[in-house]
């Protein structure tokens, strides 16, 4: 899995490319935690799922851990550009009741900064 990140308007945008499964989620967790710990002002994270092929419960677990961590820092976590396949998984788990999902980056950025 490839993870790229950039900061736009105080929001860290993480773009995931590939599969967020049992194999890759520890790496995902490590990278994200390092980024959050590196700078205390990094407390708004948007995960762009445009190129995310599939997600399993191990990946969802990391999203929840990340959410807990950000909430402790008064931060926000949101997802955007989720493909139908991945969205199906999120629906089953009812992830949307805990983490906001936006249509695309532009919408997410406006909402996160409002």
Partner 1 sequence: MATAINTSSQYQRVIKRDRIRLLIFVAVVIFFPVWFAEIVIFNFWIGDRLTWLFWCVSIGIAAILALLVFYVFIYFRAQQNLQVLAKVIFAFDATDFDQIVNNLSQTRSIEEEASILANLLIQLKKNFSHFKQNLLHKTQETARIKDELIIARNLQQHMLPTEFINVTKNFPNISVYANLIPATEVSGDFYDVFALDDDKLLLTIGDVCGKGIAACVLMSRLLTIIRTSALAMQHSKSSESTMLLDLLARLNTGLYQVGYEHCMFATMILAIFDMRTNKLIYCNAGHNPLCVISTENKSVKFIENSSKPVGIREQAVYQCKELQLAAGDYCLFYTDGIVETHDQAGALFDEHGMEKSLLGRVEFGSKAVVNGLLQDAGNFAPNIPQEDDMTALIIHHHMPKSGTMKSTAIQTTKPIKSSTITVKSGIEAIKTVQIEIKSFLLANRFKAAELGDLDVCIEEILANIIKYGYGPNKPGDIDVKIDLYTDEFCLQFIDQAMAFNPLQLLASHMATQAKRTSGERGLKLVASMADGLAYSRKDDHNILSVIKKYSSMRKGV
Chain positions contacting partner 1, by CB under 8 A? 19, 21-23, 54-58, 60-61, 85, 88-89, 92-93
CA-CA distances (angstroms) from residue 52 to 5, 9, 15?
A: 14, 23, 8
Biggest CA–CA distance in the chain, Å, is 36
Minimum CB–partner distance for residue 69 and partner 1 (Å) = 12
Q: Considering the complex, state which of residue 9 and residue 61 has its C-beta at the smaller distance from partner 1.
A: 61
Our CB check for partner 1 shows the closer of 97 and 114 to be 97
Shortest CB 92 distance to partner 1, Å: 4
The SS3 call for residue 72 is: helix
Q: How far apart are CA 101 and CA 44, in angstroms?
A: 14
């Amino acid at each position: 899995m490839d993870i790229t990140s950039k900061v736009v308007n105080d929001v860290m945008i993480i773009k995931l490319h590939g599969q967020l499964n049992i194999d890759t989620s520890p790496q995902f967790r490590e990278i994200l935690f390092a980024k959050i710990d590196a700078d205390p002002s990094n407390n708004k994270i948007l995960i762009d799922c445009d190129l995310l092929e599939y997600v399993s419960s191990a990946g969802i677990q990391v999203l929840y851990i990340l959410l807990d961590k950000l909430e402790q820092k008064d931060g926000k976590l949101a997802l955007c550009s989720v493909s139908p396949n991945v969205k199906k998984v999120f629906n089953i788990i009812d992830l949307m009741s805990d983490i906001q999902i936006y249509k695309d980056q532009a919408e997410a950025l406006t909402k996160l900064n409002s």
